[in-house]
Structure 1
Amino acid sequence: MINHLETLIEQCRSKYHLQLLFPSNPFILDFQCEDQRYTISLSNKECKIVEDPMAHDPQFVIQGNEDMIACLLEGEELLSRMVENNQLDIKGGYRQLLFIESVLWLTRPVVKETVEI
């Protein structure tokens, strides 16, 4: 799971156009899977994995099993679709959902497929 989050953070840092989406104050996102809790902080100044999740109150929470969260972070499925299909649970407002959905979609790994002519 931590590898997926590190990839997400790396993508957030490397894609300039995402910096325009990020707020100036850190947006705290929590991933809760089974008995583990992972927290990331997103802002236009810094994107990072939070070392002490208990020190921050999350603005948005995604709950589910590790496989479903990994599927989301790998870009295989949309967050809103996974929520509709009861694969993941969320806590937070609609604006936060749209923000996180956008960030996850824009940071997904792009698989280049060969095209035969």
Structure 2
Amino acid sequence: MRNLLEKLIDQCRSKYHLQLLFPSDPFILQFDCEDQHYTISLSDKECLIMEDDNTFEPGFVIEGNEEMITCVLKGQELLSRMIEHNQLSVRGGYRPLLFVESVLWLTRPVLKETVEV
């Protein structure tokens, strides 16, 4: 799970167009995966995995098992669809949901497919 979050953070840092979406104050996103908690901070200044997650109150929380959270982090499924099918649960408002969904979708690994002409 940590490896996937590191890839997400790398994508957040490397894609210029994402920097325009990030708020100036850190947005705290927490993943509750069974008995593990992972927290990331997203802002236009810095994106990072937080080691001490008790410092800030999360703006949005995604809860579920590792398989379902991994599915969202890999871009195999939309967060809203997973919520709709009761595969994941979330805490937070609608606007944070839209923000998190956008970030997760725009940072997903994209496989380049060859096109035959």
TM-score, reference length from structure 2 = 0.98
**Helix, strand or coil for the counterpart of 2:54?**
helix
How far did residue 115 of structure 1 move? Answer: 2.0
Q: Deviations over 1:35-60 (max 9, x none)?
A: 00000000000000001111211010
CA distance in 1, matches of 2:50, 2:57: 11
Unmatched segments (≥5 aa) in structure 2: none
Show the counterpart of 1:19. 19
2:2 is the counterpart of 1:2: yes
Matching residue of 1:82: 82
CA distance in 2, matches of 1:102, 1:3: 20
**What pairs up with 1:66-81 in 2 under 5 angstroms?**
66-81=66-81
SS of structure 2 residue aligned to 1:77: coil
Instruction: Give the 4+ runs in structure 1 shifted more than 2 A.
Output: none
The number of residue pairs the alignment matches comes to 117
Aligned to 1:47: 47
Superposed CA deviations along residues 9-62 of structure 1, whole A, max 9, x for unmatched, are 000000001011000000000000100000000000000000111121101000
* Alignment RMSD: 0.6
User: Quick one: distance in 2 between partners of 1:83 and 1:69?
Assistant: 11
Distance 1:17 1:114 in 2: 25
Q: Which residue of 2 aligns with 1:95?
A: 95
Q: Tell me, yes or no, if structure 1 residue 62 matches structure 2 residue 62.
A: yes
Q: Does 1:36 align with 2:36?
A: yes
- The one-letter code of the counterpart of 2:15 is K
Unpaired runs of at least 5, structure 1: none
Normalised TM-score (structure 1): 0.98
Letter in 2 for 1:64: G
